[in-house]
Amino acid sequence: MGKRCDWADSGNQALRDYHDQEWGFPTTDERQTYELMILEMMQAGLSWQTVLNKRAAFRKAFKNFDVNQVAKFGQSEYEGLLVNPGIIRNRLKIRAAINNAQLLVSWHQRGESLNRYLWKMVNNQPVIGHYDSLKDVPATSPLSVKISKDLKKKGFRFIGPTIVYSWLQALGILNDHLKSCPSYSQAISAAESLDFDS
């Protein structure tokens, strides 16, 4: 059995579990797509371990990442988030999370889905990386630049190419597990059972 990706062995059990069970495994779940967008935004400038340690608090503060509820957050909810010790209290990131939820509500009203939008960008097939070492994995790609520009044009905030790249990795749209990692082939197998119609 191979060794899991180096970054996942550098933290606690929550980080290892996230790597082994979620990161890089393709999902078609819209709520999870929004959740991971927000967590990746919040991670900017911090470690992923820090974000994972606060994930339960984020879920509580952001109503389990229900975009319909987050989209209704007004000034009092915003100010409450700014003093919530369980989450990352960055004004720009919190405003972006609310703004992006409001945009997604309008997408959903038009019958559109953020998850479907992202998968269409790769023709419904995950992009499989072929990396032997963590240092070989890029921080951005032409795909993440393209999506970042397009989403910004559509009004989304705090969604630069590096954040988008990490988000695509988390969603399994990019499988950047190292080739030696057991999750590499597991994520490839998981992609074979993707169902975009459910």
Q: Note the pLDDT of residue 1.
A: 62
The answer on whether 177 is annotated among ligand-binding residues is yes
Helix (H) or strand (E) run with residue 175 in it: strand 174-175
Kindly state the average pLDDT of the residues 40-54: 95
Residue 197 lies in a domain: no
Confidence band for 193, pLDDT divided at 50, 70 and 90: confident
Encode pLDDT of 71-130 as tens digits: 999 999 999 999 999 999 999 999 999 999 999 999 999 999 999 999 999 999 999 999
50 lies in a domain? yes
Would the annotation count 108 as a binding residue?
Answer: no
> What is the structure's pLDDT at 2?
78
The answer as to whether 89 is a domain residue is yes
Residue 15 lies inside a defined structural domain of this protein: yes
The two tokens of residue 169 are: 């990795």
Whichever domain contains 38, its CATH number is: 1.10.340.30
Residue 148 pLDDT grade (very low, low, confident, very high; cuts 50, 70, 90):
very high
Q: Specify burial of residue 41 (Cβ count, 10 A radius: 0-12, 13-18, 19+).
A: buried
Range(s) of the domain holding residue 175: 6-191
Answer whether 46's CB lies under 8 Å from 88's CB: yes
Question: Would the annotation count 19 as a binding residue?
Answer: yes
SS3 content of the chain, % helix, strand, coil (to 5): 60, 0, 40
- Number of structural domains the chain divides into: 1
The pLDDT of residue 10 is: 79
Judged against a pLDDT cut of 90, whether residue 198 lies above it is answered with no
Question: Can you tell me the mean pLDDT for 16-23?
Answer: 96
The answer to whether 38 is annotated as binding is no
Write down the residue that tokens 């579990």 correspond to. Answer: 17
Residue 196 inside a domain? The answer is: no
Q: Is residue 1 part of a domain?
A: no
pLDDT number for residue 150: 99
3-state DSSP assignment of residue 126: coil
**Cα–Cα distance for residue pair 131/136, rounded to 1 Å:** 6
**Residue 173 backbone class (left: φ over 0; alpha: ψ -120 to 50; beta: rest):** alpha
Q: What does the block give as tokens for 193?
A: 């059972």
- How sure is the predictor about 11, in pLDDT bands with cuts at 50, 70 and 90? confident
What pLDDT sits at residue 91? 97
Q: Assess if residue 174 is contained within a domain.
A: yes
Catalytic residues: 18, 40, 48
User: Is 45 domain-assigned?
Assistant: yes
